[in-house]
């Protein structure tokens, strides 16, 4: 079909989005002939987070679904004896790009030290972050939102996404919301209470973040000068820490002290030895990691994986090296279509990335016939069930679709199982200043595909 379905075209018209702003491919899985629908399929467009499909499928193919990151740890000195817990020497931790070094796993790493008898470190904790070389960047550069966790820069030793999470729990009996802060960063004080709103404000929960009047201008003092509505119930607010360069030191110092440990020296950057490590912390398998990346569209984790491709294939995790690896992989599988892709950072959080709907459809068809099919499909949001599609009302459980959204982009791509039993590859991308208003057009496209290419009400009985 070389014209848009009537419902899709009508939805674009209502959104005042021109029809040539949409790129579409719909094709039955396993069918290499003409697609069911092709529209602007070869146009180079910004895919937003659909870019993660390229990064995660390439990683599955190059590394394998069971691949893991390891974070080696060296104790440079003799282990404590006599039960005094004193370790004379430095503890060295070397990052390898693990995207899942969250607070719980950082705790496990330090807990392993305690299991070896270490309680009092008479030395430093040395962090080797040399596996990645990432240019300095202003976290506000992309969209002027430096405190959004998705704007955190990649790091070979990325602890807890360099973020802080605030939980607000209303306590009407005392007229406040209790604030829980995680993790506790050494030397950083955060408000533990904020007054509850009264009157009209107490019955509404609209811009609750704005109403809090957060003040993070001083990274050592995190304050909330506004009010919190009891109508909001309990809310969680993750925020990128305002001093990312000092985050690892504050997290490890605070966590070690919280665990009853003592540190006489400091937490500082340095170089790991070339000798075998004392122990290693192993990440979850890649198949599990890409579920977080794709289901929740985690940009920081995607960029960690992107740089890991360069680290494993070129020996050093650099943006240029990662682009070369991914570009070469695409060209080897998809020829000129793959070579035409413009790759930036592997996550889609970019204004420069360009691919075609045709390339994405070929990738999804390729994946469907590969040994990695189950892992890739399982990583995609399921309509009406989880991830970025958990609130979708149409076709619950039948569509596994990666979503993408930027200021001028709205997009979906993945697999759809129609009631007829046919499974389709579906790609739909809108690039336009009013792209957000074109979501109903993509919903109409999904429904048209579910009807095996018939307009609602015209499908054969």
For residue 340, give the nearest of 45, 30, 18 by alpha carbon.
45
47 and 83 in a single domain? The answer is no
The answer to whether residue 323 sits within a structural domain is yes
User: The tokens of 97 are what?
Assistant: 């790009």
Q: In this structure, is residue 144 part of a structural domain? A: no
Question: What per-residue confidence (pLDDT) applies to 31?
Answer: 81
**Whether residues 80 and 47 fall in one domain:** no
Answer for the pair 411, 324: CB distance below 8 angstroms, yes or no: no
Q: Are 296 and 413 within one domain? A: yes
Q: How many CB atoms lie within 10 A of CB 217?
A: 9
- End of a domain among 257, 282, 307? 282
CATH number at residue 271: 3.50.80.20
Q: Are residues 257 and 301 in the same domain?
A: no
Answer yes or no: is 432 within a domain: yes
Helix (H, G, I), strand (E, B) or coil at 76: strand
The predicted structure's pLDDT at residue 455 = 61
User: In this predicted structure, what is the pLDDT of residue 229?
Assistant: 96
Q: Is residue 436 domain-resident?
A: yes
SS3 helix, strand, coil % of the chain, rounded to 5?
Answer: 35, 25, 40
Q: In which residue are the tokens 């604030």 written?
A: 179
48 and 187 both lie in a single domain = no
* Local confidence pLDDT in tens for the 461 residues of the chain: 578 999 999 999 999 999 999 999 999 999 877 899 999 999 999 999 999 999 999 999 999 999 999 999 999 999 998 788 999 999 999 999 999 999 999 999 999 999 999 999 999 999 999 999 999 888 878 888 888 999 999 999 999 999 999 999 999 999 999 999 999 999 999 999 999 999 877 888 989 999 999 999 999 999 999 999 999 999 999 999 999 999 999 999 999 999 999 999 999 999 999 999 999 999 999 999 999 999 999 999 999 999 999 999 999 999 999 999 999 999 999 999 999 999 999 999 999 999 999 999 999 999 999 999 999 999 999 999 999 999 998 889 999 999 999 999 999 999 999 999 999 999 999 999 999 999 999 999 999 999 998 765 554 44
Give the span between the Cα atoms of 403 and 411, in whole angstroms: 6
Q: Which pLDDT score is estimated for 142?
A: 83
3-class SS letters over 351-410 = CCCEECHHHHHHHHHHHHCCCCHHHHHHCCCECCCCHHHCCCCCCCCCEEEEEEEECCEE
- CATH number for the domain harbouring residue 365: 3.40.710.10
Distance CA 441, CA 438 (A): 5
In this structure, the number of other CB atoms found within 10 A of the CB of residue 405 comes to 17
Shared-domain flag, residues 317 and 425: yes
Cα–Cα distance measured from residue 303 to residue 312, given in angstroms and rounded to the nearest whole number: 14
Question: Is 168 within a domain?
Answer: yes
Q: Give the per-residue pLDDT at 460.
A: 44
- The angle formed by the CA atoms of residues 103, 106 and 110, to the nearest 5 degrees, is 135
Say whether both 277 and 295 belong to one domain. no
- Among residues 263, 282, 301, which one ends one of the domains? 282
Q: Which of 220, 244, 268 is the last residue of a domain?
A: 244
By CB atoms closer than 10 A (0-12, 13-18, 19+), residue 144 is exposed
Cβ atoms < 10 Å from Cβ of 172: 10
How many domains does the chain fold into?
A: 3
Statement to judge: residues 223 and 101 lie in one domain: no
* Residue 460, in any domain of the structure: no
Q: Which two structure tokens, joined as six digits, stand for 403?
A: 């979503």
The count of other CB atoms within 10 Å of the CB of residue 302 is 29
Q: Which structure tokens are listed for 266?
A: 């400091």
Confidence at residue 226, expressed as pLDDT on a 0 to 100 scale: 97
- Cα–Cα distance list, 456 to 7, 136, 366, 428, 451 (Å): 8, 51, 30, 19, 7
Whole-number pLDDT of residue 184: 93
95 and 22 together in one domain: no
H-only helix segments in 32-129: 51-63, 103-115
Supply the range of the domain harboring residue 388: 6-66+286-450
Q: Looking at the structure, do residues 124 and 270 belong to the same domain, yes or no? A: yes
According to the model, what pLDDT value does residue 34 have?
A: 86
pLDDT at 453: 85
In a domain, 142, yes or no: no
Helix (H) or strand (E) holding 301: helix 299-314
378, 270: one domain: no
**Does some domain include residue 461?**
no
> In this structure, are residues 134 and 155 in contact, taking their beta carbons and an 8 Å threshold?
yes
Tens digit of pLDDT for each residue in 25-42?
Answer: 999 999 877 899 999 999
Q: Are residues 156 and 224 in the same domain?
A: yes
């Amino acid at each position: 079909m070389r014209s848009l379905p009537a419902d899709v075209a009508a939805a674009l018209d209502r959104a005042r989005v021109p029809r040539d702003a949409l790129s579409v491919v719909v094709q039955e899985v396993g069918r290499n002939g003409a697609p069911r629908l092709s529209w602007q399929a070869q146009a180079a467009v910004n895919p937003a987070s659909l870019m993660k499909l390229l990064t995660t499928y390439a990683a599955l193919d190059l590394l394998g679904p069971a691949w893991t990151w390891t974070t080696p740890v060296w104790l440079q000195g003799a282990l404590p004896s006599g039960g005094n817990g004193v370790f004379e020497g430095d503890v060295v931790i070397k990052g390898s790009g693990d995207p899942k070094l969250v607070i719980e796993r950082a705790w496990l790493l330090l807990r392993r030290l305690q299991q070896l008898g270490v309680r009092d470190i008479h030395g430093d904790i040395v962090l080797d972050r040399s596996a990645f070389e990432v240019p300095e960047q202003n976290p506000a550069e992309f969209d002027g939102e430096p405190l959004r966790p998705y704007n955190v820069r990649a790091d070979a030793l990325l602890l807890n996404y360099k973020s802080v999470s605030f939980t607000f729990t209303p306590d009407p009996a005392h007229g406040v919301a209790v604030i829980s802060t995680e993790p506790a960063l050494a030397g950083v004080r955060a408000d533990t209470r904020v007054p509850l709103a009264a009157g009209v404000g107490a019955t509404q929960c609209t811009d609750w973040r704005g109403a809090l009047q957060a003040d993070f201008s001083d990274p050592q003092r995190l304050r909330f000068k506004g009010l919190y509505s009891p109508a909001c119930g309990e809310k969680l607010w993750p925020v990128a820490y305002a001093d990312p360069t000092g985050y690892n030191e504050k997290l490890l110092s605070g966590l070690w002290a919280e665990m009853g440990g003592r540190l006489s020296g400091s937490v500082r950057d340095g170089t790991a030895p070339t000798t075998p490590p004392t122990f290693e912390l192993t990440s979850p398998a890649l198949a599990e990691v890409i579920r977080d990346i794709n289901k929740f569209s985690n940009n920081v984790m995607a960029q960690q994986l992107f740089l890991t491709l360069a680290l494993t294939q070129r020996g050093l995790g650099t943006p240029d090296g990662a682009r070369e690896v991914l570009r070469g992989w695409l060209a080897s599988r998809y020829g000129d279509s793959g070579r035409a892709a413009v790759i930036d950072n592997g996550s889609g959080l970019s204004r420069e990335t360009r691919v075609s709907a045709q390339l994405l459809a070929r990738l999804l068809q390729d994946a469907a016939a590969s040994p990695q099919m189950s892992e890739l499909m399982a990583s995609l949001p399921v309509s009406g069930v989880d991830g970025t599609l958990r609130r979708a009302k149409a076709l619950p459980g039948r569509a596994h679709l990666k979503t993408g959204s930027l200021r001028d982009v709205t997009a979906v791509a993945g697999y759809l199982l129609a009631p007829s039993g046919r499974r389709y590859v579906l790609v739909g991308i809108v690039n336009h200043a009013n792209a957000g208003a074109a979501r109903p057009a993509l919903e109409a496209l999904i429904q048209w595909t579910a009807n095996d290419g018939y307009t609602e009400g015209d499908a054969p009985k």
